[in-house]
Structure formats: structure tokens, C-alpha cells
Amino acid sequence: MAQRDYFKGKRIAVIGLGSHGEMVEDVKYLIKAGAWVSIYDLKSEARLKSHLIFLRSVGLANYVCGNIPGEDLLDMDLIILSHEYPRESSFLKEVHGHNADVESKKKQMRSTVLSTPDSVGTLHDEAARGKLIPIEYPETLFFRLAPPVTVVGVMGVCGKSTVISLLSPLLEKACEGYDSQGLFVLDPESENGIISSLKKIKSGDIVLLRIVDGMMSELASMRMSPHVAIFTTLPSKNSYVGTPFDILAFQTYNNFIIASDEIIDAMREIKTPPRGKMLRTKASLIPDEWEFKGRGVHDRFNASLALQAARLFKVDDETARHIFGEWKALKGRLELVKKVKGIEFYNDTMSMTPDATLAGVTALSDARNLILIFGGAEVGYEYRSLYTELPRFVHTVVNIPGSGTIRQRYSLQHIEGLTVYSKPSIDEAVRTAFEHAQKGDRILFSPGFDAGGMEGSKVERGEKFVRAVRGL
């Protein structure tokens, strides 16, 4: 079956357009492929206005803003979730119940032996009328329909985007001169689209895939492992039924794993170690004489992961040195915003985990010269290891609102040697941090929690921080 034919004539529900319209290109592709598409999003129609105007112009059939009614989904042939919506979401319970009921009736029909012809016929009709409604993510659909490709998967709690930004130009170099080989970067947080890549992908291409925690179990259920698996850090254990290494279960002996000593040692201790070749790496792999503008050991380690992977594709170190020399830190990741009266302000809004915040803190601080603006929506991570390290680098913490902030407030206030303030907005947090800073201090906005509530998306909260700093 041709890729586009798979969607032709299907009634498809797309749940969530993404914080910044990451699903827009995919919806456009589905419409052009002949699908009847309905969008459901918890955001308001006003907030999605520009995206909806565009999608209606290309044939969007229906949209529902501010609500996701379960009953509507039972009429669909396919449900596609944005990465923001896990399978466990409450609005999908009715769909899961429907699918279980259909499976039960079909199982009952198959097992019925001693029945009257009428009862068998009735049961068959009920089962036939019922249809299973597949629930997919853009990534799972892509890999179900794509031709054979080489998958380079980047995973971990933090550092994924940095590794991808370093590795993608290296892999582009690897593809030069090969008419039969191209590079596709698939990122659920990108606006380029994932499903829409099906219109260009061909056998033998390289796919550089950012694997978010929730996606790992989905790929494992497809019996799919990346051919080259890159671990920046250990992924979050609370996203799995099994272990964070389940994603490696279907590697072959010709596949590769690139990670730190700590992670590879942990892999070797599990009951059934992965079959892929394990390549250890460390920050010192990047020579000091290279003109690499990354901050601290954290960025140099991420660069070492990219370099190890590039070597597998025959990219020479001199090429890597040149590309790394031109690399610039990503927006919203330890981004220097402004220096005011000898005080530096850094935007690290993409930090949504304690590990990410700790990486930012250790990269910027020396001699406890750091003020941390911290807080946001609950994500379910353990913060104890972060709090143990904070007094080494941070002298003041300014909390911003959020469900996670409320849960962690008591723990923060009882850390010896740490001064803690709580403010109702990012604007006030910036002013408070500035008031308590001295020349030579650095003020780091590294929330360590998900975005949400009054501060908007992670990008929007970063923009609020930048505006507040520039207004000083």
C-alpha cells in the first residue's frame, strides 16, 4: 500500500496541534492524502487562530477547541496524538474501553462452539460492526509506513536537542555525494512535521530521531530499536513499565550504543544486556584546542556523543572540528540574554527536569555566584539529588508559581545555606533576583519543571524572562 493511500478516506482525529503548531504540517499532509481530519485541542480557538485559518484553507473538516469529548472519538478510524498527550490521558479511556469491548466480542465469537446458528449470527454481526480504533503518535505512524532506513535515536533526560544540533550537520556531510542517501531530522517539538516526511523519505536514508520518554515504550511495542542509540543521560524511569533500556531490546549485533561509562556499566548489569556494540565516550574526547563554544563539561560531553556517532558514518575529525567551531548554543538553553551592572542573565527555559537544571547550574557557577529562578508545573521527577548539589553553586533561589513549585517548596526552604523567595510571576522573580545580586553574580532562569498555567508554554515563559531582563 502506498503511504498516502493508507490515509485516503479515513476519519482521523488529531489530538493536540502542539504548543507551537508542531502538528500543522502533518495535518496538512493528511488532508492532501485524502483523509477527513478533525482537530481537538485544549487551547482556545483564539490562541490557535492562525493555524486554524491555514488548515481550513487546505481542507480541514472540523475542529474542537477547549474540549476533547470522548464520544466523538468513537466515530474515528484513527487517532493521532501529539507528543504532549500520552496514552494514559483521561479523554482516551472511553476509546480504550471501546477497543477492549470489540476485542472481547470478537474473542467470544471465535470461542463459541456450542451455540445455535442464530446466536452465532447475532454475535458475528455485533463483532463485525465494531471496529478497533488505532491510537498512534506521528513517530509510530512514520515508522510503520516508511521504507527501510537507518535510525539514529537520541534519548535522555536532557541534552537531546544539543546533540541533534551538533550531529545533524555532521550527518549531512556523511550524505554528500550519495544520491541514494539523505538525512531526515524527526523531532516531535519541531514544526517541520514527522508524518509529512513520508512524502520524501526513501529506502537507505538516515533518520535522526529525538526520542522523548513517552515514545520509548511505543517504539518498543513496535519491536523497533534505533540502529545507533545515543544516551545523553538515563531517561526517566517513571515513563516505563520496564526499564529505560527496553528501547534497545531489538538491536542486532551490528548496531551501536553510545553513552557515558556510567550508563554503559548499568547496561551490562541488567539481566539481558543489549546486543549492540557499546561505545563509551566522555567530554575529554573533544580536544581543548578545538574552537568549541559549548558551556562547561555538559556541552563538551554532548559534543563527544555527536562525534562518536559521526565517526560511524565515516565523518573525519577535521570536518567535525570545523562544524563544532561554527556551532552556537540553542535558543533557550543557557542563552546569555544580557549583562547589567556586571550581572549576567541566562535563559535556560527548555530545562524541564532536575537533571537539566543541575547541568545548567554546574555549567555556569563557580564560587556560589549563582541566583536560580526555579519552578513550574509538576512532572513527577525526584529532586533530591538536585537539592543536595544546589548549595555548592547557588546562594539564592527565586521560585515562580506552579504545581511542582508548591510540592517542592518545603524541601527548598529547608536547605541549609540557601536563601529562598517566592514570587507570583517571572517579572517579579527577575526583579527580586536582580535586587539580591552582586557584581560578578549570574542569574539563571532554569525552571526544572514543565511549563503551564499562567506562564504559558516553555518558549513563552522564556520570552517573558527575556522581556523582563531587557526591561531592567
32: which 3 cell numbers?
492532501
Phi-psi region for residue 9, left (φ > 0), alpha (ψ -120 to 50) or beta? left
CB of 87 within 8 A of CB of 146? no
Beta carbons of 258 and 279 less than 8 angstroms apart? yes
CATH topology of domain 1-136: Rossmann fold (3.40.50)
Q: What is the tens place of the pLDDT at every residue in 291-303?
A: 988 877 888 999 9
Domain boundaries, the chain: 1-136, 139-326, 335-470
Cell output for 443: 542569574
In percent, the amount of the chain with pLDDT more than 90 equals 51
In CATH, what number does 335-470 get?
A: 3.90.190.20
Nearest 5°: CA angle at 395, between 391 and 399? 100
Task: Spell out the per-residue pLDDT of the chain, length 472, in tens.
Answer: 457 689 999 999 999 888 778 899 999 999 999 999 999 988 888 888 999 999 999 999 998 888 777 777 888 999 999 877 766 677 777 777 777 777 777 676 666 544 444 444 444 444 445 678 888 999 999 999 999 999 999 998 788 989 999 999 999 999 987 766 899 999 887 888 999 999 999 999 999 999 987 788 788 888 899 999 999 987 665 444 456 788 899 999 999 999 999 999 989 888 888 999 999 999 999 999 999 888 778 889 999 999 999 999 999 999 999 999 999 877 888 888 999 999 999 999 988 888 889 888 988 887 789 999 999 988 778 898 899 999 999 999 999 998 888 888 888 888 888 999 999 999 999 999 999 999 999 999 999 998 865 566 788 899 999 999 999 9
Pick the CATH number of 139-326 from 3.40.50.1220, 3.40.1190.10, 3.40.50.720, 3.10.20.310: 3.40.1190.10
What's the predicted TM-score (pTM) here? Answer: 0.82
